[in-house]
Amino acid sequence: MKFENDKVLKKIKDHKKYVGISDSVVEREIREVLRVDSRIGDGELVKEVRKRLHRLYSSYQTGRKGKRDGYLERLRDWVAGKNDKGDVCDDLLSITLSTKERLKDYSEIYSKIFSITGKPDKIVDLGCGMNPLSFPLMGLDKVKYRCYDIDEKDAEFLNEYFGVMAGKGLDGKAFVMDVRDLGEVGKIPESDVVFMFKLVDLIDSNRERVSEELISLMLEKSKWVVVSFATRTLTRRSMRLGQRRGFEKMLDRRDLKWERFSTENEVFYVVGN
């Protein structure tokens, strides 16, 4: 059935920052804005939805995104033995702010996670962004990696990356999915560990706490879920919320076991049944 605000959707996606975002995600944001203000004009509707999409996705991009195809070609040459790896992995991880700020910490992050969970054979990554590009820093010989996010162009790029890295032990596949759609999330395959890096603050709102049900659903399919929260704003200021007491209380209320560790920019919770 044709979406009733198709013209608004098209206008929103006319902007290059939002062209790759899944229609279903844009439609959801349009409906949410209209739920709050059903009389809003189309111009203000476009502006408000773009503002929401910026928070969900675009604010985490850097100016290097346009260079990623070139970085991928360099990676392809390295895998083929035509050059040394150099800084290409660092360049790829500099595409988004979250992966860029984790660069110096990635090896330690994965070491701490896997010391608790054990080294996984299967990973699911929700709201993945460009995190799958950190595979060379995971310390894994091989892994089956399934990842999900809202941008179609990013999924295409990640699937190209997985194709390049297949010979290095990475069996990967990227999918477009709004993880707030728990019906669709229920179709995700079982895994050893689920990553939810910086996802909770993006998908929860004052009206609904999707993350609590999402974590419970994932723990039916996985032994462990790893949730992280930023401890600094996008402008690099420290946040008052170092440890997430409300989140910890939710875990305790659900009688889940958890361990916490922190880096300079992020706090991580490794959660299990």
3-state helix, strand, coil in the chain (%, to 5): 50, 20, 35
Q: What is the pLDDT of residue 2?
A: 45
In tens digits, what is the pLDDT along the chain, a chain of 273 residues?
344 678 888 888 888 778 878 788 888 888 888 888 888 888 888 888 888 877 766 445 555 667 889 999 999 998 888 877 668 989 999 988 889 999 999 999 999 999 999 999 999 999 999 999 999 999 999 999 999 998 888 999 999 999 999 989 999 999 999 998 999 999 999 999 999 999 998 888 655 688 999 999 999 999 999 999 998 755 455 555 556 888 999 999 999 999 999 999 999 999 998
* Cβ-based neighbours of 192, under 8 Å, separated by 6 or more: 117, 118, 120, 121, 122, 123, 222, 223, 224
Q: Do 198 and 120 fall into the same domain? A: yes
Q: Do 129 and 246 fall into the same domain? A: yes
pTM confidence score: 0.82
Q: Which of 25, 41, 56 is the last residue of a domain?
A: 56
Q: Do 29 and 117 fall into the same domain? A: no
Number of domains comprising the chain: 2
What are the phi and psi torsion angles at 269 (to 5°)?
-120, 125
Q: Do 104 and 40 fall into the same domain? A: no
* Spatial distance between the Cα atoms of 162 and 123, rounded to a whole number of angstroms: 14
Domain span including residue 118:
100-272
Q: What is the pLDDT of residue 140?
A: 97
Domain-located, residue 79? no
Q: What is the pLDDT of residue 4?
A: 60
Q: Do 244 and 130 fall into the same domain? A: yes
Domain-located, residue 86? no
Q: What is the pLDDT of residue 206?
A: 56
The CATH number of whichever domain residue 144 belongs to comes to 3.40.50.150
Domain-located, residue 21? yes
Domain-located, residue 81? no
| HEC assignment per residue over 130-197 | CHHHHHHHCCCCCEEEEEEECEHHHHHHHHHHHHHHHHHCEEEEEEECCCCCHHHHCCCCCEEEEEEE
